[in-house]
Amino acid sequence: MKRLLLPVTALLALAGCSGPGLLDAVDNLTPGDKRAVRLVSGASYGQDRRQKLDLWRAGDADHKVQPVLIFFYGGSWNAGNRRDYGFAARAFAAQGFTVIVPDYRLVPQVHFPAFVEDGAAAIRWAKDHAAAYGGDPQHILLAGHSAGAQIAMLLALDRHYLADAGVDPGTIRAVAGLAGPYDFLPFDVPASIAAFGRAPDPALTQPIHFARRDAPALWLATGSADTIVRPRNSQALAAAQTRAGATVLYREYPGLNHGDIVMALSKTFRRKGPVLKESSAFLMAHAGLASAP
């Protein structure tokens, strides 16, 4: 299989695949894991063309009721496509989750808080429809990478987004954040300036501002070599949640950079670190369907 990777990746790169899309294509050709099936493709959770989602489930799950995991991809709030993250959906589906991957509106079409509101609307769709596909709407979990982790954390910590979407904020049981920006004031890079520079109160863009004792359980992972979203973001939020008396687990993977930590979900690069195994164990435990690790 390894001998095939180089020519396959070269062909896909020539075809114009994005980095995550290339990873997804290679992962799809790599053996391992239970077979996962995309049961829903492009379901609308809003009126905009970007407000669509896919739903995945392990092919051998039959009629088992599973916790619902909603995965938000990264891309600096200005890029990304749900179809490129099939590798993440398949990985988590093989661990026993019914997985939803939504697209959301991007900068410059929108600015904060529109993409967070889209996340809340996707959760509302899950509450209304996941049961039809074997998902338990009472056990909703969130995960995200980079900008997607920031969206997931705001949805979990700032109660008003879910309340405004007609969802009980207590529905969210746990969140796994991969290399997320949670404490990134002042806005000093073009992506954050473009996404959040118009916010009347910049503090409300920061997940750490909403640290609270009764928050969902948080699993915060980062790589020691991440120079894009530095580990201090996860460290600071973990410390704030600990001070508040909340449930939080901080995990730093030696030598992993910003991209490595999401690549480690794929079969091809899983040896980089046990990101999938450890995040899945934490989420499943706090969904109430397994013993704590």
Q: What is the pLDDT of residue 17?
A: 53
**pTM, rounded to two decimals:** 0.93
* Mean pLDDT within 33-38: 92
For 71-90, give the DSSP string: EE--STTT---GGGGHHHHH
Q: What is the pLDDT of residue 10?
A: 42
Q: Is the pLDDT of residue 142 over 90?
A: yes
The answer to whether residue 250 is domain-embedded is yes
The answer to whether residue 154 is domain-embedded is yes
Q: What is the pLDDT of residue 290?
A: 42
* Mean pLDDT within 45-51: 98
Q: Give the CATH number for residue 252.
A: 3.40.50.1820
What is the per-residue pLDDT across 193-216, written as a single tens digit (0 to 9) for each? 999 999 999 999 999 999 999 999
Using an 8 Å Cβ cutoff, are 227 and 257 in contact?
Answer: yes
The answer to whether residue 24 is domain-embedded is no
Residue 190 binned pLDDT confidence (cut-offs 50, 70, 90): very high
For residue 21, give both structure tokens: 């899309």
* Mean pLDDT within 67-71: 98
Q: Is the pLDDT of residue 8 over 50?
A: no
For the chain, the C-alpha Rg in angstroms (whole number) is 18
Q: How many structural domains does the chain have?
A: 1
What is the per-residue pLDDT across 172-182, written as a single tens digit (0 to 9) for each? 999 999 999 99
Q: What is the pLDDT of residue 135?
A: 96
Q: What is the pLDDT of residue 62?
A: 72
What is the per-residue pLDDT across 209-254, written as a single tens digit (0 to 9) for each? 999 999 999 999 999 999 999 999 999 999 999 999 999 999 999 9
Q: Which residue has the tokens 């990101």?
A: 275
Residue 2 binned pLDDT confidence (cut-offs 50, 70, 90): very low
Q: What is the pLDDT of residue 59?
A: 84
Question: Of 8-17, 61-70, 87-96, which range is least confident?
Answer: 8-17
For residue 178, give both structure tokens: 């991969």
Angle in degrees, CA 227, 234, 81, rounded to 5? 70
The answer to whether residue 254 is domain-embedded is yes
The answer to whether residue 9 is domain-embedded is no
Q: Is 102 in a helix, a strand, or coil?
A: strand
The answer to whether residue 8 is domain-embedded is no
Q: What is the pLDDT of residue 1?
A: 42
**Domain of 217, in residue numbers:** 34-286
Q: Is the pLDDT of residue 16 over 60?
A: no
Helix axes of 86-94 and 275-286: crossing angle, nearest 10 degrees:
60
